[in-house]
Every structure is written in structure tokens, then in C-alpha cells.
Amino acid sequence: MKLNPLTIKKIRRFQSIRRGFYSFILFTILILLSLSAELLINSRALVVRYEGRTYFPTYGRILPGTTFGLDYDYETNYRDLKARFDAEDAGNWVLMPPVPFNPYENDLREGAFPPFPPSAASRHFLGTDIVGRDILARLAYGFRIAIFFSLGLLLINYTIGVSIGCAMGYFGGRFDLFFQRIIEIWSNVPFLYVIIIISSIVVPNFFILILIMAFFGWIGMTWTMRTVTYKEREREYVLAARALGASNLRIIFRHIIPNTVAIIVTFAPFSVSGGIVALTSLDYLGFGLPAPTPSWGELLQQGWTYMDAWWIAASVITAMVVTLITVTFIGEAVREAFDPKLHTVYE
């Protein structure tokens, strides 16, 4: 693929902004890691060698305890299996992931009550929450949900926002006036309350929640796109395209949007962090994804209620700060890379 020299220049420039570039790498790694979370943080073993046969239980259907000569029909407890095989020393073995817990199971003990503090011996590296679930597991799986939530939200918001915004700017006149009023009314709806009301009536799943949030989220982008399009449509290349007989659709999507992509790209990282924060706050208030979905907001809520268990609040706050700072750094770097003026100072 041959890239536009301007694009190459922008990428170079992005790479030269260290803070942003390394944040980008870190962020990408985090996403990749979270995508393979099942291999790193899971109660299912990676590999089980039992009586000459090898099993890979990570993905796919459950293997009941009877598969490995245990006396129960429900899913094998691989941690117990590992302890058992190690004790028997009969050539069978189990390879567990580094964190041998899934985000849903309650690791409860006799005579003690969760939350349990972090301990390398019990393999709860960040401790457990108030019902004995591993915090690291919940953070990792919660991150995956939050990040894909906000990417999905971004996609829908921008598709609607950019299309309507461009149309408003391009057509102008009554169309513009009409949509301006619609948006003014729309943006006066207290959207958090509406979401709370909706989610107290129907329990939203991942996609419904994205849709509900996108219902109100597309507005922000329209104003910017409208202004930019107003500017662009007066440029000569648009006139030229029109003179050549290009349709409105073609002019908007082939000519104007590519020329405004800098604006869109610059806003995107901030929308991602906005999405994460929105989901977290909804979960914190108890109106987000249904329990027991791993969620940062729920952990935050627990951390606030159980201040004595400092590791809950500490873990989730650290995770949030790191993620949001990373995304913000990427955002700043992108903005700078796309800035036609070379020397800009952000304050």
C-alpha cells in the first residue's frame, strides 16, 4: 500500500512525539493482552496432560470433573486438579495461566472472610474483592469490556455525528436550521438521567447500552463537523468537483470528509477516554452492565464502601489513571501530528 506523503509525514511526526508514541504502544499492548486474557487470567488450565492424553481446556466446551477421574459432573476445578496431580506425581500435569482465576468465581476460604489482601502465595496479585473474586482478573476483563465499549460507542457516535454534521454544513439553509434546533432540544435532555431511568426498567446488555449512549452521544461531533464543512465547501476543489458533475454524496464522502479527517482523528482518543469514564460511572452508580459483569465502576463502588480494603480502590484507581493518561497522551500526540503548524504549544 502506498501512503500519501502527507500521511507519512504525519506518522513520522507522531513517532517523534515520544510520550504519545510510547503511550500508543503501551495501549496497543494492553488491548492485545486483554484480547488474550483467557490465556493469562483464567481458572481453566492452559494444558492438561492426563493418562497420555493432552487437553487444551481454555477455549471450547467445559470438561466435567469426570474427564480427569474426579467424582463430579460440573466443570473441573483445575487448581485442585493441579494440586492433586502434583501430589500424586504419576506423570500427569496441569499448566495453569499465571493468574489461575476467572473474574466470576468466588475464591472463599474456611474461617476467613473476603476481601483478602494481595498475596503472591495465593496468586491473588491484587487481592480479592468483597466476595472473593480476583481483582486483577476483574480489572483485565473489565478493561476489555470498557475499551471495546468505548470503541463501539465511538464508531456509532462518529458515524451519525459526522454524517449529520457534514450534511448540515454542506446543505446549509433550512436543513441546517432544522437540525440545529433538533440538536439544541436533544442536548437539553439530561442524558445521564435518561440512561438511569432506562436501565432501571430494562437491564441493558453490552449492545443496548452502547445504543442508548449513542442515542445522546452523537451530538457533540455535529457542531464541529458542521463548522468545518461550512469552511470546506467554499473551497475551490469542492467547486471543481461540482463543476465536474459529482453528486452531493460523492462530494461529502470523497472530498470533504477526507479533508476534515484531521479533526475527527484528533477528537477520537478523547472520546475513547470519555466512553470509558461514562461506562465506569454508570457501573459505579449501579446502572451499567448487569452483575456480575466485571466492571471498573463496580470495583470503584466497592473500594469506596470498603475503604479498609485499600487494595480494591488502589487497584482500580491506578488502572483508571494509567488508562486515561495513556489515552490522553495519545490524543495530544495525534493532535500535534495533524497540526499543520509545526511549533504549537499546548497549555
Partner 1 sequence: MTTTLRMLAAALALFGACAAFAPGPLAAVPVLPQDIEWQTNDTDPVFASPDARRGGTFRSAIMTFPLTFRTVGPDSNSSFRSAILGNQLSLIGLHPNTLNITPELATHWAFDPDKKTMYFRLNPRARWSDGVPVTADDFAFTLEFMRSKHIIAPWYNDYYTREIDRVIVYDDQTLAVVSTKAVPDLHLKLGIAPTPRHFYKALGEDFVRKYNWAVVPNTGPYQISDFRKGKYVMFKRKPDWWGNDLRFFRHRFNVDRVKFTVVRDFNILWEYFKKARIDTFAMNFPQYWHIRSKTPQIENGYIERIWFFNDTQQSAMGLWLNQDREIFQDRRLRYAFAHAMNVEKVIEQVLRGDYFRLENGFVGYGPYSNTEIRARRFDLGKVDEYMRAAGWARGPDGIWARGGKRFSVEVSYSIEEHTPRLVVLKEEAKKAGIELRLQRLDPSAAYKKVMEKKHDVAWMGWSTSLRPQYWEHFHSVNAHKPQTNNITNTDDPELDRLIDAYRNSLEADERIDLSRRIQARVHEIGPFVPTFMVPYVRQAYWRWWRLPTPPGTRVSGDLFSPFDSATGGLFWYDEARREETRQAMRERRPFPPVTRIDETYKMAFLK
Minimum CB–partner distance for residue 308 and partner 1 (Å): 7
Q: Compute the 3-state secondary structure of the chain and give helix, strand, coil in percent, each to the nearest 5.
A: 65, 5, 30
In this complex, which beta carbon is closest to partner 1, that of residue 223 or of residue 306? Answer: 306
In this complex, which beta carbon is closest to partner 1, that of residue 99 or of residue 154? Answer: 99
CA distance 320 to 143: 9
DSSP three-state, residue 29: helix
In this complex, which beta carbon is closest to partner 1, that of residue 51 or of residue 73? Answer: 73
Minimum CB–partner distance for residue 14 and partner 1 (Å): 43
3-state secondary structure 171-234: HCHHHHHHHHHHHHHHHCCCHHHHHHHHHHHCCCCHHHHHHHHHHHHCHHHHHHHHHHHHHHHC
Minimum CB–partner distance for residue 290 and partner 1 (Å): 6
In this complex, which beta carbon is closest to partner 1, that of residue 102 or of residue 326? Answer: 102
Which among 81, 143, 78 has a CA at the least distance from the CA of 105? 78
CA distance 93 to 82: 7
Which among 210, 219, 245 has a CA at the least distance from the CA of 164? 219
Minimum CB–partner distance for residue 276 and partner 1 (Å): 22
By CB under 8 A, name the binding residues for partner 1.
61-62, 64, 72-75, 104-106, 108, 113, 130-133, 200-201, 203, 286, 290-292, 308
How far apart are the two ends of the chain, measured CA to CA in Å?
Answer: 37
Minimum CB–partner distance for residue 91 and partner 1 (Å): 28
Which among 325, 299, 329 has a CA at the least distance from the CA of 314? 299
Minimum CB–partner distance for residue 190 and partner 1 (Å): 17
Residues 6+ apart with CB under 8 A from 247: none
In this complex, which beta carbon is closest to partner 1, that of residue 24 or of residue 287? Answer: 287
In this complex, which beta carbon is closest to partner 1, that of residue 191 or of residue 338? Answer: 191
